[in-house]
Amino acid sequence: MFFVRGVSRLPFRGIPKLTIIPSRSSTTPRIDNTLACRRKYHVEGLMLAPVVFSGLFVALWTWKCFMMVIFQNKIIYMPGLPPNSRWEKIEDYASRCAGVQWREERVRAADGTDLALCVTDMDLGTGATSAQPDVAFYILYFQGNASSIPPRLPDLSSTLSMLKRRSLQWRDKNVRCTMVCLSYRGYWTSRGRPTEMGIRKDCAAALDWISQLHSNSYCGDDHESRPSAELVLWGQSIGAGVATNLAAETPMPANVHLDSLILETPFTSIRAMLEVLYPQKWLPYRYLWPFLRNHLDSWRNLGVISRKYNIGEYSPEVFILEAAKDELVPRELTQELYNRCVDVRLHVTRKAVAGAFHNDTMFRGEGRRAVSDFLLRRITSTRVPM
């Protein structure tokens, strides 16, 4: 039997015509080896890893931005730092206060929040033992965003002691100086949680407390002969924004006269500080300012203060105390505040404490002397009622 490849295995004998049956190999389409290799590399597979990691990166960025917006009060206000700040006591620092006696007072804000005040009284001048002062001078102090009031008392006491020593040169003037340090809600022994809106209520409560103290201290005197109540607002860091908020937005009581503002290591606004802390334009954090619930906009407040007080013959003076080596607030922001005061016609002076960082301007003698000199000048310029 004879067979031919590609032909059915039938004998030639008896077959009139060959029947050609295609082989299996001839019916199968031929596959180009080059095309088969190309199909092994898919674009989707190559892009999977970059897309996943980019999405994860964007998700983490978005999550952090969300957390910064939600917990901005926790970031700006830190009453729990250092960890023992809520349990500090005035007595722990009494030996370092240069003989200045401090006491704790309590006051309630408009929403019922219980607040703590640190208060001291000091008679200045050669007639310091007199029962009737010529001028009642009040200093309302606002702290920075961390720690509590008691650790600040030694430096504040040193400043007041300098002021008292220099007041001995006065001959015919007797001044009673009362310093009130406000502990914001959530700080030290004050109740509540700190927010800008809440702190505004705290400041208004402290201002009313000063007004009531002045009225009670001189309630038996004739109104015309009663000593004037001159008020200085002193704020450090975010406290400078708190001070300008109070001066711009809260009406002064009838028996209290705003004399001046001391802005210690101030900044223009929280929005400006966002740009300082995150200068890279490709980072999203600096663009979160529309979601801010805390502004502390001293730049805007200075304009409001000027319009508010320049209606009459008097406007408060502004004293800017800056740290020459401030590691948080750049010099440009301080310069902006100074220029703003000049533009809105507020009398302003400025002092840079050499070698000082953001939180230690009052730790240095130069800073304490600068504040003491400013207070002395403001007190001596106060008119004594006849």
**What would the pLDDT profile of 351-380 be if each residue is shown by its tens digit?**
999 999 999 999 999 999 999 999 999 998
The reported pLDDT for the residue numbered 297 is: 97
| Nearest-angstrom CA–CA distance, 331 and 267 | 9
Q: 302, 344 in Cβ contact below 8 A?
A: yes
- Give me the mean pLDDT over the 66-74 stretch: 93
Any idea which of 42-56, 129-143, 303-317, 333-347 has the lowest mean pLDDT?
42-56
The reported pLDDT for the residue numbered 8 is: 46
Instruction: Give the DSSP letter string of 48-80.
Output: HHHHHHHHHHHHHHHHHHHHHHHTHHHHH-BTT
What is the average pLDDT score of the chain?
A: 87
What DSSP designation does 39 have? T
Residue 51's pLDDT band (cuts 50, 70, 90): confident
| Nearest-angstrom CA–CA distance, 221 and 176 | 16
Which structure tokens are listed for 167?
């007041």
| Nearest-angstrom CA–CA distance, 128 and 165 | 12
Q: How many CB atoms lie within 10 A of CB 290?
A: 7
pTM for the model stands at 0.86
| Nearest-angstrom CA–CA distance, 340 and 337 | 5
* Nearest by Cα to 341 from 300, 292, 375: 300
Residue with tokens 């301007």: 361
Q: 307, 346 in Cβ contact below 8 A?
A: no
pLDDT at residue 316 above 80? yes
- Give me the mean pLDDT over the 283-298 stretch: 92
Write the pLDDT tens digit of every residue in 174-226.
899 999 999 999 999 999 999 999 999 999 999 999 999 999 988 755 566 67
Element (H, E) at 277: helix 270-277
pLDDT at residue 9 above 70? no
- For residue 108, count CB atoms less than 10 angstroms from its CB and return exposed for 0-12, middle for 13-18, buried for 19 or more: middle
Q: How far is CA 41 from the centre of its chain?
A: 55
The reported pLDDT for the residue numbered 48 is: 81
Q: Please give the span between the terminal C-alpha atoms of the chain, in angstroms, as a whole number.
A: 148
Residue 276's pLDDT band (cuts 50, 70, 90): very high
Q: 345, 314 in Cβ contact below 8 A?
A: no
Write the pLDDT tens digit of every residue in 126-176.
765 556 788 899 999 999 999 999 999 999 999 999 999 998 888 777 899
The reported pLDDT for the residue numbered 7 is: 45
The reported pLDDT for the residue numbered 382 is: 79
Q: Is the dihedral of CA 12, 15, 19, 23 positive or negative?
A: negative
CA angle 256, 257, 258 (to 5 degrees): 120
- Give me the mean pLDDT over the 70-98 stretch: 95
Q: How many CB atoms lie within 10 A of CB 144?
A: 19
The reported pLDDT for the residue numbered 222 is: 57
The reported pLDDT for the residue numbered 6 is: 47
| Nearest-angstrom CA–CA distance, 344 and 334 | 16
Helix/strand/coil percentages in the chain, nearest 5: 40, 20, 40
The reported pLDDT for the residue numbered 164 is: 93
The reported pLDDT for the residue numbered 372 is: 97
Residue 20's pLDDT band (cuts 50, 70, 90): low
| Nearest-angstrom CA–CA distance, 330 and 342 | 19
Any idea which of 4-13, 34-43, 244-253 has the lowest mean pLDDT?
4-13
Any idea which of 26-40, 86-100, 105-119 has the lowest mean pLDDT?
26-40
Any idea which of 68-77, 144-153, 232-241, 273-282 has the lowest mean pLDDT?
273-282
